[in-house]
């Protein structure tokens, strides 16, 4: 069946990009591109002088139009996406804030950078607008469904150069995802940076699991490695029993099926008073060796606090500094990245977000062997990415 003609399916909007206007652009959305299999047409009222002074792309376009036989104040073209075209025109006319971000879908957010490229508009100038769009999306999210929002904005926040949302979404995914983290990218797009990003997020997540093991299971190992007193069997058993009661044990089960945040929620219910003490039959009173006298409540709490505060999300600036295939305009500044090790003070110098060493470490996008060659650094040594890759 042939596609319906434009006349049969009239769906024509007039959109005032600026007022007064002395030029019209009529965009017809191509039948092939439209998901609902309808034509859609829009007339944009624009300012000729603004467009001709905007980018090389629009200048060339308007120039070609001048020499055509068509009316001089109208330009007709086929477009794939009317919404993203409106965003570009408004950006150039400085009227973007007059357009509701509610009309922009996630698909449009993925489309826009490609149209930006075609029209020679720098996508990085849309960072603030992207932030507004994200805030609107987040408001719509039902309580408990935040994770899917973070998955949706993770790669786009990188494309739109929004360091803040990139850090928020990468952190949220690491702490909230159940099981292995994978990228959410629509089929029609390819993002080469997605694979290393996901690898690093999974490495960060594994590192958090490892901290829990080190801090909690490590104590049990300590007890078992010493000459055992009669109290020790009871302590080990009672600790595991209490962790089992709050469904934190076995940890791996919890990581895989419920995520890090949920494990931390469960650990908050840990009650050391429920651990039965060993009673020495000779004296009929409590007896605990040094190891068994440890303050388990504080140990569990400080483990949870350490895990919760460990990872501030990935840092877009650290990532860009070490990206060996930097985006146009970006620069590869490895020296700046490694300099942090010498100064030993802050790992977020010259970064837009505040972060600690783990974020710095996991944001490294350069070659893996460079990381392997690094001398061991400081307390809280982050997990080596090389173990994962
Ligand atoms: Zn003991
Ligand atoms: Zn038994
Ligand atoms: Zn940074």
Residues with C-beta atoms within 5 A of ion ligand 1 = 229, 231-232, 289, 292
What's the gap in Å between 295 CA and the centre of ligand 1?
A: 13
Give the ligand with the smallest distance to the CA of 280: 1
Task: Judge whether 199 lies within some domain.
Answer: no
d(CA 298, ligand 2 centre) in Å:
29
Ligand having the closest approach to the CA of 233: 1
User: Of the ligands numbered here, which is closest to the C-alpha atom of 319?
Assistant: 3
Ligand nearest to the CA of 340: 3
What is the Å distance from ligand 3's center to 186 Cα? Answer: 28
Could you say which of 310, 342, 357 is where a domain stops? 310
Residue pair 209/389 in contact by the 8 Å Cβ criterion = no
Q: How far is the CA of 283 from the centre of ligand 2 (A)?
A: 25
76 domain residue, yes or no: yes
259 occurs within a structural domain? yes
| Total domains present in the chain | 2
Ligand 1 mean position, distance from CA 245 (Å): 22
Asked whether residue 219 is domain-assigned, the answer is yes
Residue 190 forms part of a structural domain: no
- Where are the alpha helices (H) located in the chain, listed in sequence order? 48-52, 56-66, 82-93, 106-119, 127-140, 146-159, 163-176, 194-212, 218-225, 230-245, 251-258, 260-267, 296-310, 316-322, 334-343, 357-362, 368-372
Q: What's the 347 CA to ligand 3 centre distance in angstroms?
A: 6
Of the three residues 310, 325, 343, the one that is the final residue of a domain is 310
Return d(Cα 23, Cα 11) in angstroms, integer: 21
pLDDT of residue 327: 63
The verdict on whether omega for the bond into residue 20 sits within 30 degrees of 0, i.e. cis, is yes
Within-domain flag for 17? yes
Q: How many A from CA of 278 to the centre of ligand 2?
A: 17
Task: Quote the domain boundaries for residue 213.
Answer: 207-310
pLDDT in tens, the chain (389 residues): 454 444 444 467 899 999 999 999 998 876 655 555 566 788 999 999 999 999 999 998 888 877 777 777 888 887 778 899 999 999 999 999 999 999 999 999 999 999 999 899 998 899 999 999 999 999 999 998 999 999 999 999 999 999 999 999 999 999 999 989 999 888 777 777 788 899 999 999 999 999 999 999 999 999 999 888 899 999 999 999 999 999 999 998 998 999 999 999 999 999 999 999 999 888 999 888 988 999 999 999 999 999 999 999 999 998 888 876 666 666 666 676 777 666 666 788 889 999 998 998 999 887 654 554 443 333 333 333 333 33
> What are the tokens at 81?
């996406």
Final residue before a domain boundary, out of 277, 294, 310: 310
Q: Could you give the angle at the alpha carbon of 105 between the alpha carbons of 100 and 111, nearest 5°? A: 110
Q: Does residue 326 form part of some domain?
A: no
ipTM attached to this prediction:
0.85
Identify which ligand lies nearest to the alpha carbon of 322.
Answer: 3
| Spatial distance between the Cα atoms of 217 and 351, rounded to a whole number of angstroms | 36
Q: Is residue 119 part of a domain?
A: no
């Amino acid at each position: 069946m042939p596609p319906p003609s434009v006349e049969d399916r009239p769906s024509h909007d007039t959109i005032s990009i600026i007022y007064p206007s002395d030029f019209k652009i009529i965009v017809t959305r191509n039948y092939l591109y439209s998901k609902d299999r309808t034509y859609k047409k829009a007339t944009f009222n624009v300012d000729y002088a603004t467009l001709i002074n905007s980018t090389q792309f629009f200048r060339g376009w308007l120039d070609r139009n001048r020499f055509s036989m068509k009316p001089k104040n109208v330009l007709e073209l086929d477009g794939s996406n009317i919404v993203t075209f409106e965003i570009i025109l408004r950006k150039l006319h400085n009227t973007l804030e007059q357009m509701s971000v509610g009309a922009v879908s996630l698909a449009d957010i993925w489309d826009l950078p490609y149209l930006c490229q075609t029209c020679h508009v720098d996508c990085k100038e849309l960072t603030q607008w992207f932030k507004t769009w994200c805030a609107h999306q987040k408001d719509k999210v039902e309580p408990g469904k935040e994770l899917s929002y973070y998955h949706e904005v993770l790669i786009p926040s990188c494309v739109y150069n929004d360091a803040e949302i990139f850090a928020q979404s990468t952190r949220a995914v690491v702490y909230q995802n159940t099981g292995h983290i994978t990228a959410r990218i629509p089929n029609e797009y390819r993002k080469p940076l997605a694979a290393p990003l996901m690898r690093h997020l999974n490495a960060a997540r594994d590192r958090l699991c490892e901290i829990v093991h080190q801090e909690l299971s490590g104590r049990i190992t300590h007890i078992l490695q010493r000459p055992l007193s009669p109290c020790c069997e009871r302590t080990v058993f009672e600790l595991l029993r209490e962790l089992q009661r709050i469904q934190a044990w076995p940890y791996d089960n919890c990581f895989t099926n419920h995520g890090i945040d949920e494990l931390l929620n469960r650990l908050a219910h840990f009650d050391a008073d429920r651990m039965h003490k060993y009673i020495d039959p000779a004296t009929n009173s409590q007896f605990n060796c040094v190891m068994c006298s440890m303050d388990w409540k504080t140990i569990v709490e400080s483990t949870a606090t350490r895990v919760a505060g460990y990872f501030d999300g990935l840092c877009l600036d650290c990532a860009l500094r070490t990206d060996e295939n930097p985006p146009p305009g970006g620069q590869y500044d490895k020296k700046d990245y490694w300099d942090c090790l010498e100064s030993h003070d802050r790992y977020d110098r010259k970064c837009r977000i505040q972060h600690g060493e783990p974020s710095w470490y996991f944001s490294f996008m350069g070659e893996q062997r460079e990381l392997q060659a690094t001398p061991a650094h400081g307390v809280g040594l982050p997990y080596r990415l090389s173990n994962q890759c």
